[in-house]
Structure 1
């Protein structure tokens, strides 16, 4: 490094501009792991900055023999703390991206000493504080590597090193074009069928007749349709996340093309549970969640607005409209007892929450429905928020939680909405929710911890 580089790097890192630019560059890769690494890096940086501000800095004594009088107070070094916090946060989420960021962070921290602004002790103290901040953030919001789901029960499936035998249906409405191109590069002999959302079910049925492995690229609703086709045909399923949330794929440990290609090439797969709902002659499956109450109404309202203003704004608007409406809770008989309910949520598998992180499933074949009930009463928004904040608590004044293998609702009013994996249907009378244990075979890499920057 030339003598002019450290001062220039030090100026760039001033006010954390360098790290915000680095986070923007990571986010621009449009891969979930890189985006999480960027977010974790910034969160760690923020905590380090707050800690430095809270502790206060001790001014550099005039007796210190520095090349020039520092422009700011010196101990600990705030820039060293920010550099170490950002780099450590990124590395905890993605070791590969951490190796890219670490040399820049080390140079930025050392530049403070090289420029004469700090003694080595100032830089070391700041760096130690930054590393501690990153680990504190990890304690509050664990990385995905800390909560990787178990790989069992394993399933015997064909290995497809070049993709031959895979027929993958991609929902073009989910914005999957980029991932489809990457899949064709990784598995050149795979057959890919791109179609509009309304054609997905028919294309999946046709694909199942000629495939050794049925593949799908899209959001959770598209994956649900593929699961139904795979169950009917007895084929293993390969899921490439291509939607907004992608809960099922992410809980499996599949975030992108590399994960899926690795599983297909090695022939690694697991058997997972499937949830099923039935009501009279109507029935369906769910891979993530099934619910009745205000949430299905929110989903329908969101779909009404999403094509006009976008998905996330539509979700916020839908929540405001549904929760502010003058309505009464759902009345239903649950396991023989009548309850007023604002929401009944049934997860396909037990959802766990560690720290402040959103809930996710650690075991996709535990045989349980994770049932959460928000009791009826005044102020539904307050009750729903209290239930969300309660997280893993099994009971509160606003909600209750239990894990069961089967659930029955009776006397459900006509026209009641039921949501499953983002889709909505109407039910009435008796509604039964149950598990199909280990019914679906799905590809998943044997080792969910990835060391490649994607």
Structure 2
């Protein structure tokens, strides 16, 4: 078997033998045992899988780095062992080339060219480092030691190690396009403005939706304690929420409108605040608190600081004109959109992602949620700005959300004047396979099935049966068309200054 293997071009062989002779002159010592054990620990990628398991304990970038490292390692190992070891058969170093006490036993029987250990080691370290550079720097010495150990123990020639290392680095760079490093999220920016100071809640009227968010029996009492001078209207089951919001906004002496509830309640309160030229204080009482989070109000303490100091900013609002009902007798409704609207399977995707996120972290939770949502889903046919599409998701955000992919999470600027339009289409052939592959490789944002753009106006029409539209979490059925536009800096909202 060995007789059929090449020794390589003459200059490479001379280069290898020269370096091996230098290594053979190193004195023996404990480092021989260490390098032999290190080399053995990397067999079949065990060392890097163990490292990935430890790194993945930490959510966020470390977990994403571990995932990318493993993906790069898998690609490098496959290319090395399946492709190049077959195409480039080569005899490994012989016992006379190195001291016998250092020589690996038993020596591998596969081709020496290239080094699979080196490919896996460099692929994992570079792959992880592309996501989190400090982690890559910490892994680099271990990866380099594994690569060198293959020469030190006589398992490979130096050129095998260099070629394997190049394959590993290449695999990391190629898979970086599959799991691209997300660009940084811009810093939070506000357009500050003046608003009435409300010490102790003086002049503040708060509407509380007792059916929404995290309301408990102690909520109203807690609000009264934080804002002792405020008027608080707790809306119970059976009462008309919209009417109660309007009556709260017009309560005598009202200088600002406060709201406790989910996204739908906050949107209705924003509409009333705009109508009556009142600043809005959004309290963190909703299930997800999207606008409160973006406004920088994560607690009642933040809300109290902003209200007492008159600290406020301006936000754009989205206006959605919805046509519902029968074609011959349509009903038109106009809604305020503070956060997002969606058609298709986006609400199911969000619910699954939020459920999985605490255990898996944001990136991996998004991948698993996408697989579960689209594995058996059915696309919807819609007409978007006059163009017919088969869509998995049509998503409209009021303002630029980040990251710029299928799983928007953060909105650092509330008055950028745009609608964030994202569509994942099923127009292409093999639509479901394309979608699942792009999810697996992390290329949804760059795939042909994904369409990302910004607009100030957008129109969506149903193509046949009416569609279901969700606006800030409130679901509207029987929708025939929806027009979206942006009203620049129409809402004044309280936000604590840094």
Q: Which residue of 2 aligns with 1:336?
A: 386
Match of 2:193 among 132, 150, 155: 155
The one-character-per-residue Cα deviations of 1:193-216 (angstroms, maximum 9, x if unpaired) are: 222365332221110111221111
Match of 1:217 among 241, 244, 260: 260
Written as runs of structure 1 = structure 2, the 5 A alignment for 1:58-207 is 149-152=188-191, 154-173=192-211, 174-177=213-216, 180-196=220-236, 199=239, 200-207=241-248
Matched, 1:383 2:435: yes
8 Å CA contact retained: 2:214, 2:287: no
Deviation, 1:42, is 6.2
Indicate how the Cα distance of structure 1 residues 197 and 346 shifts in structure 2: closer, same or farther if over 3 A, else same.
farther
**Partner residue of 1:251?**
294
Give the TM-score, by structure 1 length.
Answer: 0.57
* Residue 448 (structure 2) aligned to one of 397, 405, 413: 397
Give the superposition deviation at 1:389.
Answer: 8.0
The question of whether the paired residues in 1 share the 8 Å contact of 2:190 and 2:414 is answered with no
Q: Which residue in 1 is equivalent to 2:410? A: 360
SS of residue matched to 2:246: helix
* 1:361 alignment partner, SS class: coil
- 1:255 aligned counterpart, secondary structure: coil
Verify the 8 A CA contact 1:412 1:431 in the aligned structure 2. no
Q: Any idea what SS the aligned residue of 1:162 has?
A: helix
Give the 3 Å change call, closer, same or farther, for CA 388–360 of structure 1 in structure 2: farther
The Cα of 1:290 is off from its aligned counterpart by: 0.8
Contact 1:204 1:229 in 2 (8 A): yes
CA contact (8 A) 1:409 1:430 kept: yes
Residues 284 and 299 in structure 2, CA contact (< 8 A), matched pair in contact too: yes
Q: 1:193 to 1:333 in 2, by over 3 A?
A: same
Per the TM alignment, residue 387 of structure 1 is displaced from its structure 2 partner at its CA by: 6.6
The separation in 2 between residues aligned to 1:388 and 1:351, in whole angstroms, is: 22
Structure 1 residues 149, 165: CA separation in 2 closer, same or farther (over 3 Å shift)?
A: same
Change (3 A) 1:158 1:446: same
Gaps in structure 1 of 5+ consecutive residues: 1-39, 51-139, 302-317, 448-454
Cα 1:269–1:324 change in 2 (3 A) is same
SS state at 1:207 partner:
helix
Q: Structure 1, residues 299-323: CA drift from partner, whole Å, max 9, x if none?
A: 999xxxxxxxxxxxxxxxx999974
Distance change in 2, residues 1:213/1:380 (3 Å) = farther
**1:148–1:253: 8 Å Cα contact kept in structure 2?**
no
The 3-state SS of whatever aligns with 1:215 is strand
**Superposition misfits of 4+ residues, deviation over 6 angstroms:** 140-143, 297-301, 318-322, 354-357
Could you say what secondary structure the match of 2:199 adopts?
coil
Q: Describe the SS at the equivalent of 1:167.
A: strand
State the distance in 1 between where 2:406 and 2:465 align. Answer: 38
Using the TM superposition, give the Cα deviation of residue 409 of structure 1 relative to its aligned residue in structure 2, in angstroms.
2.2
For the 8 Å contact 1:413–1:428, the answer to whether it is kept is: no
Q: CA deviation at 1:228?
A: 1.9
Question: Are the aligned partners of 2:249 and 2:276 in contact in 1 as well (CA < 8 Å)?
Answer: yes
> What's the counterpart of residue 345 of structure 1?
395
Measured after TM superposition, the shift of residue 446 of structure 1 is 1.5
The residue aligned with 2:420 is 370
CA contact (8 A) 2:444 2:450 kept: no
| 1:255–1:190 Cα change, 3 Å | same
CA distance in 2, matches of 1:362, 1:392: 22
Instruction: Identify if the C-alpha distance between structure 1 residues 201 and 430 changes in structure 2 by more than 3 Å, giving closer, same or farther.
Output: closer
Alpha-carbon RMSD across the aligned residues, in angstroms, is: 4.0
CA deviations 1:234-271 (Å, max 9, x no partner) are: 21111001122111110111101011111101101111
SS at match of 1:275: strand
The Cα offsets for residues 135-191 of structure 1, whole Å up to 9 and x where unpaired, read as xxxxx9999xx8652121x23211011211111111223223455444322321112
Counterpart-to-counterpart distance in 2, 1:233 and 1:384: 48
Q: Partner residue of 1:434?
A: 485
Q: Residues 209 and 244 (structure 1 numbering): CA distance in 2 closer, same or farther, change over 3 Å? A: same
Q: If you compute each CA radius of gyration, which structure gives the higher value, 1 or 2?
A: 2
Question: SS state of the match for residue 413, structure 1?
Answer: coil
Matches within 5 A, 1:264-343: 264-280=307-323, 281-295=332-346, 323=374, 327=378, 329-343=379-393
